[in-house]
Amino acid sequence: MAHDHGHTHVSASSGARHKRPLAIALGLTASFMFVELIVGFSIGSLALISDGAHMGTDVLGLGMAYLAISFASKAATSDRTFGLYRLEVLAALANGLLLFGVAGYVLYEAYQRFNEPSAIPSLPLLVTAVIGLVINIISFRLLAAGSKESINLKGASLEVLGDLIGSIGVIIGAVLLYLTQWQWIDPAIGIAIGLFILPRTWNLMRQALRILLEAAPKDLDVDALRTRISELDGVAEIHDLHVWTITSGIVSASGHVVTEQNHETSHVLHSILSLLRDDYGITHATFQCEPGTPLCGQEESII
């Protein structure tokens, strides 16, 4: 039986468009990490040392995100037909695991310091935290646009956001320590930061796992899409409809359609691909169209 098939093409990875802002954020974060560690050790401030270590994990996470985008932008090869797009998702998952580790470390250190608080000079702590806040705001703004398109950059922006909140917490703690000398304030803020990181990290990892498990995008109703395709002029039956995400911003679809008699399969195919592109933003789709009698519900799966 004769049949037509067609497809639209994969667009560039959404993360690649924001590579330069990520590089700037990485440079700023790495530079201030050393400042925090130097000041922290010089004044004996566990708060700054811990925050510097937290920022060090952010440098690692941002570096992983940058390398992932660099690798993902490489052209596809004969044995990697989708290129290295999935590296962005793997980096996001690794960042999520890293953030869980950091949150656990923050909670543990806060508990230790709550039991055995140590005196901290508030003025150097305050000045360093204010500078850190400015750096984190700049980095977060640089990553804001990309985080809406790329799960990898979303992970990077969450790490910077965690540092931003941490800087605010250290600032509040430094002011309260200066005014009250209550040493329990610092570990209490540490606990709050750890609890702030955990739920956002879980959401990031859940998104990454959905992509790796080849689930349909969360905001796309596959049953509704199946219905819309079946209602197109000339479509008699649709089988083996699959929709999955390759990486952030690149959704793929495939299917097998039986056309009604006296309808050109090429016209039906064009209607399907136009529906996917215009209404669902799916720019990579491969569909097979066959003319003739419907297959009476018999389906063959390629998975």
Q: Locate the domains of the chain by residue range.
A: 14-212, 216-291
Q: What's the pLDDT at 61?
A: 72
Structure token pair of residue 62: 């941002």
Read off the pLDDT band of 302 (50, 70, 90). very low
Using a pLDDT cut of 90, give the percent of the chain over it: 2
Q: Please give the CATH architecture assigned to the domain spanning 14-212.
A: Up-down Bundle (1.20)
Q: Give the pLDDT mean for 46-65.
A: 73
| CB 5, CB 289: distance < 8 Å | yes
pTM above 0.95, yes or no: no
Q: Which amino acid is at 265?
A: T
Read off the pLDDT band of 83 (50, 70, 90). low
Given a cut of 70, whether residue 109 has pLDDT beyond it is yes
| CB 272, CB 229: distance < 8 Å | yes
Start-to-end C-alpha separation, the chain: 23
User: Dmax of the chain from CA atoms?
Assistant: 86
Q: Give the pLDDT mean for 6-31.
A: 68
Q: Please name the residues in contact with 240: beta carbons below 8 A apart, sequence gap of 6 or more.
A: 254, 255, 256, 299, 300, 301, 302
Return the axis-axis angle of helices 19-43 and 46-72, rounded to nearest 10°. 160
Q: Give the pLDDT mean for 233-243.
A: 88
Q: Give the pLDDT mean for 239-251.
A: 81
CATH superfamily for 216-291 is: Cation efflux protein, cytoplasmic domain (3.30.70.1350)
- Rounded to the nearest angstrom, the gap between the alpha carbon of residue 292 and the centroid of all alpha carbons in its chain is 44
Q: Give pLDDT tens digits for 200-227.
A: 778 778 888 888 887 788 888 888 899 9
